[in-house]
Structure 1
Amino acid sequence: MTATDPALTALANGWGALSLLHSRIEAHIERALQSRHDLSVREYSLLDVLSRQHDGEGGHLQMKQVADAVVLSQSATTRLVNRLEDRGLLSRYLCPTDRRGIYTNVTAAGLELLQEARPTNDTALREALAEAARNPELSSLVEAVEAVDAPLVRS
C-alpha cells in the first residue's frame, strides 16, 4: 500500500475523527469538573477507578494497574496520587500480605467529592456527545459510542 492508498486515507480520516471526538468530549468534561469541583478529568477518573476496589480477592489495584486504568505512565500516576493524597482525597497503605505492595484507597472526603462530581461528569458527557452528534463527520462515531452497552474492561 502506498501513502495515497484510499484504504489508508480512510483509516487516517477515521482515526482523526475519533481523536477529535475524544478531545472535544474530554475538554468539555474537564471544563465542567474544574469549574464545579476543582477536579481534572484524570483526577475524577482515578477517584472513580479506586472507588470500585473491594477488600476481596484481587480487589485492590497495584499502581501499574491504576496507571493502565487511567491511561497514564506510572510516574504520572504517582504524581496524580500524591496530589490527591495531599488534598485528603486518597490514602495509601502497605499491602498486609506483601510489604512491597502499596495500595491506594479513596478517603471518605474523596468518595463524597466523587459522588458530587459524578452527575457533572455524566451531564457534561451527554452534552458533549449531543454537540458532536450534530457534526456530520462525528455523528456515526457518537452513534457507535451510544450503542456500546458493555462494561469497560481494562487489562
Structure 2
Amino acid sequence: MTAAAPPSTALAQHWCALSALHEGIADHIERRLEAEHGLSVREFSLLTVLDRQIEGKGGHLQMRQVAEAIVLSQSATTRLVTRMEDRGLLERTICADDRRGIYTNVTESGRALLEAARPTHDRALGEALERARKNPEFEPLVEALERIGEG
C-alpha cells in the first residue's frame, strides 16, 4: 500500500497538469489563428481586452494596464503593440490629461479582424478541450473550466 502524496506535492502535480493543459490549448489555438487569420494568441488576447474596454465604455488602456491584462512585461507589450500598430490593428494616443500617458486603442481594422477570428478561436478552444477531456489528468480541469463558463 502506498501512502498518499503530501498536500504540497499533490498541489504541485495539479499545477503542472494545469500548466500542461494551458500550453496544449494555447498551442492548438495559436496554430489555427495563425493559419486562418495571421494572429498569435497574444495578439488575439490583446484585441479582445481592448475591445472589451470599448464595450465597457472605457475606450482605451494605458500601456501599463495592457501589460497587466495580457500578462507580459512592459517591454514585451510595447513590442507587441508596435507590431500590431504597424499592421494597422492598434493605435496609440497621448493622454490629454497627462502627456506622459500613452493609451492603446483597437482600430476598426483590428476590430474587424477580431470579429473574423472569434469563431476560429472558439472552435479551436472547443476542439482542444474535447481532446484534453480524454486525458484523465485533465478531465477534472476541463470540467471545472466548463462550470466556470456556465456561471
Equivalent positions of 1:30-109 (< 5 A) are 30-54=30-54, 59-109=59-109
Q: Does 1:111 align with 2:116?
A: no
- Aligned residue pairs total 148
Aligned-residue Cα RMSD (Å) equals 2.0
Contact 2:67 2:74 in 1 (8 A): yes
Contact 2:61 2:105 in 1 (8 A): no
1:91-112 superposed Cα distances (whole Å, 9 cap, x missing partner): 1111122111111111111111
Shift of 1:148: 0.5
Structure 2 residue identity aligned to 1:7? P
Work out the CA distance in 1 between the residues paired with 2:55 and 2:137: 45
TM-score of the superposition, structure 1-length normalised?
0.89
TM-score of the superposition, structure 2-length normalised?
0.91
Work out the CA distance in 2 between the residues paired with 1:54 and 1:119: 20
Secondary structure in structure 2 of the residue aligned to 1:98: coil
Distance 1:57 1:47, change over 3 A: closer
Q: 4+ residue stretches of structure 1 with deviation over 3 A? A: 54-59
Indicate the residue corresponding to 1:22 in structure 2: 22
Work out the CA distance in 1 between the residues paired with 2:103 and 2:109: 18
Distance 1:83 1:12, change over 3 A: same
Q: Which runs of 5+ in 2 are unaligned?
A: none
Indicate the residue corresponding to 2:138 in structure 1: 138
Shift of 1:115: 0.4
State which drifts further: 49-58 or 127-136: 49-58
